[in-house]
């Protein structure tokens, strides 16, 4: 029986999370992890392959995006769920592409983004569209929320990024709502994040220069209330072991910390010795294939 498959990239936000929801630019990069969604025609009600998904809301969102009968959907993903690595956006993009393959459609990147954005709304409430943008385009991207959204593909340095997993999932919708509730008091901090994004972009070819800006970004994310002692501790761990800089990446409240360092493997070893699940991600150049 024919299987229709689509993929989406995982991502890491270098700078600009949360501020991007309020019209500031953000900088994010695709990594060598992602999600693959497969669709197979079946008789009877649409179902998901249980072993591939452990997130109930995600399973429901996938089912909601499909016709009520006739499909079996399965997901292979090496992105931790709810950790700020864009797992749900990668799945949404994978699903859109698998559906297009099943319908014999060829989609351009803009259409993939639009359809995945609609699916993500069901999952996250009020996403900026950044995660879907990287999930479908790959590469390094400066993103400005619309309408219309502005996507600027930037040169993608071949860069190792150390990911330190807090082991806890953050609830993006709740964290975004929390930031919204703290406005307008925190608006100057959101403005400062927006300005920092442009400094990070200017420093991009030199990870040793980007690092301290990431640490600065983390301090601003603390001020808007989305970090926690675990994430602060992981940033400190990275800095104590020679990283150029580190920050939480994604919505916060859990999720992951990213670090730039000259010695990625040794930072991973140190983190593991501290009982932290850590791994190295490699940046992925952009795709022109829809
Ligand atoms: C989540 O990966 C990034 C946030 O800025 C939310 C969004 O952009 O939709 C926190």
pLDDT for res 255:
96
Distance of alpha carbon 54 from alpha carbon 75, whole angstroms: 10
pLDDT for res 186:
98
Is 131 labeled as catalytic in the residue annotation? yes
- Which architecture characterizes domain 3-152 according to CATH? 2-Layer Sandwich (3.30)
Q: What are 45's two structure tokens?
A: 């009600």
Catalytic residue among 55, 131, 165, 206: 131
pLDDT for res 51:
52
Ligand 1 binding pocket mutation candidate from 9, 14, 20, 81 (most atoms within 8 A of CB):
20
For CATH 3.30.70.890, the residue range(s) in the chain are 160-282
pLDDT for res 289:
44
Ligand 1 centroid, distance to 159 Cα (angstroms): 22
Q: Which residue has the least CA distance to atom 2 on ligand 1? A: 250
Q: Spelled out in words, what is the top-level CATH class assigned to the domain 160-282?
A: alpha beta
pLDDT for res 70:
94
Give ∠ CA 27-28-29 in degrees, rounded to 5.
Answer: 135
pLDDT for res 118:
86
Q: At 137, which helix (H) or strand (E)?
A: helix 130-137
Please list the ranges in the chain whose pLDDT falls under 70. 50-55, 123-125, 287-290
């Amino acid at each position: 029986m024919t299987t229709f498959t689509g993929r989406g990239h995982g991502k890491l936000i270098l700078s600009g999370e949360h501020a991007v929801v309020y019209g500031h630019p953000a900088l994010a990069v695709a990594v060598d992890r992602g999600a693959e969604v497969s669709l197979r025609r079946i008789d009877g009600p649409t179902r998901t392959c249980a072993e591939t998904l452990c997130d109930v809301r995600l399973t429901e969102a996938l089912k909601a995006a499909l016709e009520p009968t006739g499909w079996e959907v399965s997901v292979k993903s090496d992105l931790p769920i709810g950790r700020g690595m864009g797992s749900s956006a990668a799945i949404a993009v994978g699903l859109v592409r698998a559906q297009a393959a099943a319908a014999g459609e060829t989609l351009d990147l803009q259409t993939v983004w639009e359809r995945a954005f609609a699916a993500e709304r069901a999952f996250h409430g009020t996403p900026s569209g950044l995660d879907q943008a990287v999930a479908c385009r790959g590469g390094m991207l400066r993103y400005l929320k619309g309408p219309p959204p502005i996507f600027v593909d930037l040169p993608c340095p071949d860069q190792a990024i150390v990911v330190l997993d807090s082991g806890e999932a953050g609830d993006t919708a709740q964290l975004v709502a929390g930031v919204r509730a703290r406005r307008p008091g925190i608006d100057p901090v959101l403005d400062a994040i927006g300005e920092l994004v442009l400094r990070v972009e200017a420093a991009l070819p030199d990870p040793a220069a980007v690092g301290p800006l990431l640490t600065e970004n983390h301090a601003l994310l603390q001020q808007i209330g989305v970090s926690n002692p675990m994430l602060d501790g992981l940033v400190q761990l990275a800095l104590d072991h020679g990283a150029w800089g580190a920050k939480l990446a994604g919505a916060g409240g859990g999720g992951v910390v990213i670090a730039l360092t000259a010695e990625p493997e040794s930072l991973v070893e140190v983190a593991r010795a501290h009982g932290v699940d850590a791994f190295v991600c490699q940046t992925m150049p952009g795709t022109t294939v829809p």
